[in-house]
Chains A and B, each alone.
Chain A
């Protein structure tokens, strides 16, 4: 338990979190690992846990219109995987797959949501860390959507 507390305290997401809140969070946390190729979660599944990556990279994927799977984001050490645990209906909107060996802190979302409801100060601390991640992901997605590098001319010609 003590090792887990130190890991949580030192993780970027929980930086400067008051020790009494760290203790609350630890109660919902455990260490996990995923082998390369394993899924952290699948689209449509219940968003009952989320992950803070300690080592290794994760690809966020969705099915492509033309078939196959498209990766729209990769995340690495220090980053948060899984956003939909915060809002109902608590359901994953995409797949998250380990690209390589991944070690992470898994946080039980049901457990944490209950504690956030009970202690609004803890709730505020967590939201203060969570919302900037959301905004950064949203802004990044917009830039990706802008397709700033432009499609190759030949690709455009083929589509015509």
Chain B
């Protein structure tokens, strides 16, 4: 996109919509006609525009390369996200991006990789797991730990089952609460860290979820021996422009839209400990 057009959305067509949970939908988007293929890196986001309502930042949660489409999972929590979640196949949606920093997928080659997600935080890390599994031989142990609120709010269930079926990736899912018919884990996601099979001295960890969940997961990983320079978090802040011009997304000295959303932990360690930064 030319600099000018970064203020104006390109228009993409909704190729498909899939309902994931009670309040979450995944939009599958065709690239805008003038653009050709979608290009992005795992961890980046687009600003999605619902006609007349507004824009929100939504992580890219994957792509379907054969069809050439891009995936965004949207939780309907406000006016804009509700409007996006109600789109149907054939509708138009505005897209600006991709913006932001990426997960260290290349840099993690040769190491064990631990991906920990909480709730909707699964969406921004799904492209990482797909990338790791696509070139599995480059990595040591691959571990995916996922915490959700209730079993019915687990995202991408079929994909999780697919990964479980493989022998070369460890998948553990836990929920905060369940009815007794649930046979999986119940408890906070930090309880999965100690049991996971990875070498803390040679592991890269990538975390995404609510800030409090990431703070406690970082503590558990550090207690296990993972170094601060090998921990990565995806942060979130209010965004209006995604260009570093509106000021809203500042998190201490960084703009989440361009210095993040993926941050290495040692860079943001002090800030995370202060309330209301």
Contact = CB atoms under 8 A, between A and B. Distances in A.
A–B contact with Cβ pairs below 8 Å: the answer is yes
A71 B21 CA distance: 21
A132 to B, nearest CB: 12
Chain B CB count within 10 A is highest, among A57, A69, A152, A154, for A152
Contacts of A5: none
B180 A61 contact: yes
B22 A155 contact: yes
Contacts of B179: 64, 68-71
B187 interface: yes
A150 B213 CA distance: 12
Interface string A121-160: 0000000000000000000100110111111111100000
Interface string B1-26: 00000000000000000000111100
A41 B24 CA distance: 39
A90 to B, nearest CB: 25
A70 B21 contact: no
Interface string B168-198: 0000001011111011111110110001000
A61 B181 CA distance: 11
Contacts of B213: 143, 148-149
A153 B76 contact: yes
A144 B178 contact: no
Given A70-B178, A71-B177, A149-B118, A143 B22 contact: no
Given A148-B212, A149-B119, A70 B190 contact: no
Contacts of B191: 140
B216 interface: yes
A146 B52 CA distance: 35
B176 A147 contact: yes
Contacts of A146: 212
Nearest to B210: A148
B167 to A, nearest CB: 20
Given A69-B179, A74-B187, A97-B180, A154 B22 contact: yes
Contacts of A64: 179
Interface string A28-66: 000000000000000000000000000001011100100
Contact of B180 (A59, A147, A150, A152): A59
Given A59-B180, A147-B149, A148-B118, A74 B186 contact: yes
B236 interface: no
Contacts, number: 87
B11 to A, nearest CB: 27
A150 B195 CA distance: 26
A137 B209 CA distance: 21
Contacts of B224: none
Contacts of A61: 180
B77 interface: yes
B148 interface: yes
B152 to A, nearest CB: 9
B212 A71 contact: no
B177 A151 contact: no
B56 interface: no
B254 interface: no
B228 interface: no
Contacts of B183: 99-100
Contact of B120 (A100, A144, A149): A149
18 contacts: A57-B185, A59-B180, A59-B186, A64-B179, A68-B179, A99-B183, A147-B176, A148-B209, A149-B209, A150-B77, A150-B119, A150-B210, A151-B149, A152-B22, A152-B153, A153-B23, A153-B75, A153-B76
Interface of B: 21-24, 75-77, 82, 118-120, 147-149, 153, 174, 176-180, 182-188, 190-191, 195, 209-210, 212-213, 216
7 closest residue pairs by CB, A with B: A149-B119, A152-B23, A149-B149, A69-B180, A148-B210, A152-B22, A144-B176
Given A74-B186, A146-B212, A152-B21, 5 more contacts: A76-B185, A76-B195, A143-B188, A150-B77, A150-B149
